[in-house]
Amino acid sequence: MSDVFGFPVLATSALTQAIGFLYRRAEVVLDRRAARGNPDGERPPEVVPAVVVGDPGNPLDFEPERLTDERAERLDSLMELLGLYAENEHLIDGQDERLRRTLARLRAVLEDIYGRRITFVGEDRPTSGVRVAARAGHVHGKSTGFKGGRVSRLAGVEVEHDVTVVHPGGEATGAVIDDLL
Protein backbone atom coordinates (compact mmCIF):
# COMPACT_ATOMS: atom_id res chain seq x y z
CA MET A 1 0.00 0.00 0.00
CA SER A 2 1.17 3.53 -0.65
CA ASP A 3 2.24 6.08 1.91
CA VAL A 4 -0.89 7.13 3.79
CA PHE A 5 -0.13 10.77 3.02
CA GLY A 6 0.58 10.17 -0.68
CA PHE A 7 -2.04 10.92 -3.27
CA PRO A 8 -1.24 11.85 -6.86
CA VAL A 9 -1.46 15.36 -8.21
CA LEU A 10 -4.29 15.07 -10.74
CA ALA A 11 -5.96 17.45 -13.13
CA THR A 12 -9.13 18.94 -11.65
CA SER A 13 -11.45 16.76 -13.74
CA ALA A 14 -9.61 13.57 -12.72
CA LEU A 15 -9.45 14.67 -9.08
CA THR A 16 -13.20 15.34 -9.16
CA GLN A 17 -13.72 11.76 -10.40
CA ALA A 18 -11.42 10.37 -7.69
CA ILE A 19 -13.26 12.28 -4.95
CA GLY A 20 -16.64 11.09 -6.22
CA PHE A 21 -15.46 7.48 -6.47
CA LEU A 22 -13.95 7.33 -2.97
CA TYR A 23 -16.85 9.26 -1.44
CA ARG A 24 -19.44 6.88 -2.97
CA ARG A 25 -17.45 3.85 -1.81
CA ALA A 26 -17.39 5.20 1.74
CA GLU A 27 -21.17 5.80 1.57
CA VAL A 28 -21.76 2.20 0.46
CA VAL A 29 -19.66 0.88 3.34
CA LEU A 30 -21.39 3.02 5.96
CA ASP A 31 -24.86 2.32 4.51
CA ARG A 32 -24.21 -1.40 4.71
CA ARG A 33 -23.03 -1.04 8.30
CA ALA A 34 -26.15 0.88 9.25
CA ALA A 35 -28.25 -1.67 7.31
CA ARG A 36 -29.77 1.21 5.35
CA GLY A 37 -29.45 -0.97 2.32
CA ASN A 38 -30.07 -4.65 1.85
CA PRO A 39 -26.65 -6.18 2.62
CA ASP A 40 -27.39 -9.18 0.44
CA GLY A 41 -29.05 -7.16 -2.31
CA GLU A 42 -27.55 -5.81 -5.46
CA ARG A 43 -26.74 -2.17 -5.98
CA PRO A 44 -27.04 -0.71 -9.44
CA PRO A 45 -23.87 -1.35 -11.41
CA GLU A 46 -21.11 1.05 -10.47
CA VAL A 47 -19.43 3.03 -13.21
CA VAL A 48 -15.73 3.04 -12.37
CA PRO A 49 -14.21 6.29 -13.62
CA ALA A 50 -11.27 6.21 -16.03
CA VAL A 51 -9.06 7.73 -13.33
CA VAL A 52 -9.10 4.35 -11.48
CA VAL A 53 -6.46 1.93 -12.74
CA GLY A 54 -7.28 -1.79 -12.53
CA ASP A 55 -10.22 -3.53 -10.88
CA PRO A 56 -11.40 -1.97 -7.60
CA GLY A 57 -13.99 -4.75 -7.16
CA ASN A 58 -17.68 -4.60 -6.34
CA PRO A 59 -18.66 -1.88 -3.83
CA LEU A 60 -20.47 -4.45 -1.64
CA ASP A 61 -17.63 -6.96 -1.74
CA PHE A 62 -16.09 -6.61 1.71
CA GLU A 63 -16.25 -8.54 4.95
CA PRO A 64 -18.42 -6.60 7.44
CA GLU A 65 -16.11 -7.52 10.32
CA ARG A 66 -13.32 -5.52 8.64
CA LEU A 67 -15.40 -2.40 9.27
CA THR A 68 -14.46 -1.84 12.90
CA ASP A 69 -15.91 0.97 15.00
CA GLU A 70 -12.63 2.87 14.63
CA ARG A 71 -12.67 2.57 10.82
CA ALA A 72 -16.33 3.65 10.69
CA GLU A 73 -15.53 6.73 12.77
CA ARG A 74 -12.58 7.56 10.53
CA LEU A 75 -14.77 7.19 7.43
CA ASP A 76 -17.42 9.48 8.93
CA SER A 77 -14.88 12.14 9.79
CA LEU A 78 -13.09 11.96 6.41
CA MET A 79 -16.39 12.10 4.53
CA GLU A 80 -17.35 15.18 6.50
CA LEU A 81 -14.11 16.85 5.39
CA LEU A 82 -14.62 15.79 1.76
CA GLY A 83 -18.32 16.67 1.71
CA LEU A 84 -17.46 20.30 1.06
CA TYR A 85 -15.57 19.32 -2.11
CA ALA A 86 -18.15 16.75 -3.20
CA GLU A 87 -20.85 19.43 -3.06
CA ASN A 88 -18.73 22.33 -4.38
CA GLU A 89 -16.62 21.08 -7.27
CA HIS A 90 -15.36 24.60 -7.99
CA LEU A 91 -13.26 24.34 -4.80
CA ILE A 92 -11.29 21.35 -6.09
CA ASP A 93 -7.64 22.13 -6.82
CA GLY A 94 -5.12 19.39 -7.67
CA GLN A 95 -2.39 21.31 -5.85
CA ASP A 96 -4.36 21.43 -2.57
CA GLU A 97 -2.11 19.41 -0.24
CA ARG A 98 -4.74 19.14 2.52
CA LEU A 99 -7.30 17.73 0.08
CA ARG A 100 -4.80 15.19 -1.24
CA ARG A 101 -3.84 14.08 2.30
CA THR A 102 -7.53 13.66 3.17
CA LEU A 103 -8.09 11.58 0.01
CA ALA A 104 -5.05 9.45 0.83
CA ARG A 105 -6.39 8.77 4.32
CA LEU A 106 -9.84 7.90 2.99
CA ARG A 107 -8.32 5.57 0.41
CA ALA A 108 -6.17 3.88 3.09
CA VAL A 109 -9.23 3.17 5.27
CA LEU A 110 -11.19 1.84 2.28
CA GLU A 111 -8.25 -0.35 1.21
CA ASP A 112 -8.14 -1.83 4.71
CA ILE A 113 -11.88 -2.52 4.66
CA TYR A 114 -11.96 -3.97 1.15
CA GLY A 115 -8.62 -5.76 1.37
CA ARG A 116 -7.82 -4.33 -2.08
CA ARG A 117 -5.66 -1.61 -3.52
CA ILE A 118 -7.32 1.38 -5.11
CA THR A 119 -4.92 2.95 -7.58
CA PHE A 120 -5.35 6.08 -9.65
CA VAL A 121 -3.79 7.24 -12.91
CA GLY A 122 -0.24 8.52 -12.55
CA GLU A 123 0.65 6.55 -9.43
CA ASP A 124 3.74 4.40 -9.12
CA ARG A 125 2.04 1.49 -7.37
CA PRO A 126 0.39 -1.77 -8.44
CA THR A 127 -3.00 -1.46 -10.13
CA SER A 128 -6.23 -1.72 -8.16
CA GLY A 129 -6.86 -5.27 -7.10
CA VAL A 130 -6.88 -7.91 -4.40
CA ARG A 131 -4.17 -7.97 -1.73
CA VAL A 132 -3.63 -11.25 0.08
CA ALA A 133 -1.13 -11.62 2.91
CA ALA A 134 -0.86 -15.10 4.39
CA ARG A 135 1.60 -15.88 7.15
CA ALA A 136 2.35 -19.30 8.57
CA GLY A 137 4.99 -20.36 11.07
CA HIS A 138 5.36 -24.12 10.78
CA VAL A 139 3.43 -25.95 8.05
CA HIS A 140 2.78 -29.64 8.64
CA GLY A 141 -0.16 -30.00 6.24
CA LYS A 142 -1.14 -27.65 3.42
CA SER A 143 -0.95 -23.87 3.39
CA THR A 144 -2.29 -21.89 0.42
CA GLY A 145 -2.07 -18.11 0.21
CA PHE A 146 -4.82 -17.63 -2.40
CA LYS A 147 -7.23 -20.02 -4.10
CA GLY A 148 -9.43 -18.67 -6.85
CA GLY A 149 -11.97 -20.44 -9.00
CA ARG A 150 -12.49 -18.32 -12.11
CA VAL A 151 -10.12 -15.35 -12.22
CA SER A 152 -9.93 -12.75 -14.98
CA ARG A 153 -6.57 -12.10 -16.63
CA LEU A 154 -7.23 -8.44 -15.85
CA ALA A 155 -7.59 -9.04 -12.11
CA GLY A 156 -4.91 -7.39 -10.04
CA VAL A 157 -4.12 -10.08 -7.48
CA GLU A 158 -1.04 -9.69 -5.29
CA VAL A 159 -0.23 -12.63 -3.02
CA GLU A 160 2.32 -12.53 -0.23
CA HIS A 161 2.66 -15.97 1.36
CA ASP A 162 5.32 -16.11 4.07
CA VAL A 163 6.11 -19.46 5.61
CA THR A 164 8.85 -19.99 8.18
CA VAL A 165 9.25 -23.79 7.97
CA VAL A 166 7.62 -26.44 5.79
CA HIS A 167 7.98 -29.77 7.58
CA PRO A 168 8.26 -33.12 5.76
CA GLY A 169 4.93 -33.96 4.15
CA GLY A 170 3.89 -30.30 4.30
CA GLU A 171 3.10 -28.12 1.32
CA ALA A 172 3.10 -24.32 0.90
CA THR A 173 1.54 -22.82 -2.24
CA GLY A 174 1.32 -19.11 -3.00
CA ALA A 175 -1.69 -19.21 -5.33
CA VAL A 176 -4.01 -21.74 -6.98
CA ILE A 177 -6.22 -20.53 -9.83
CA ASP A 178 -8.64 -23.05 -11.34
CA ASP A 179 -9.65 -21.13 -14.47
CA LEU A 180 -7.90 -18.06 -15.88
CA LEU A 181 -10.37 -16.11 -18.01
- Model confidence pLDDT, tens digit, residues 154-181: 555 666 667 788 888 888 877 776 766 5
The answer to whether the CB of 130 falls within 8 A of the CB of 158 is yes
- Quick: pLDDT tens for 55-80: 888 888 888 889 999 999 999 999 99
The answer to whether the CB of 131 falls within 8 A of the CB of 51 is no
Say yes or no to pLDDT of 117 above 70. Answer: yes
- Quick: pLDDT tens for 2-18: 444 578 788 888 899 99
CA of 66: how far to CAs of 20, 34, 55, 70, 136, in Å? 23, 14, 20, 10, 21
In whole angstroms, give the CA distance from residue 15 to residue 100. Answer: 9
The answer to whether the CB of 12 falls within 8 A of the CB of 93 is yes
In whole angstroms, give the CA distance from residue 116 to residue 75. Answer: 16
Q: What is the pTM of this model?
A: 0.70
Query: C-alpha 122: how far from its chain's center?
Result: 17
Q: What element of type H or E holds 31?
A: helix 12-33
pLDDT band at 101 (very low <50, low <70, confident <90, very high): very high
Provide CB contacts within 8 A for 73, sequence distance 6+.
none
- Any idea where the domains of the chain sit in the sequence? 12-122, 130-180
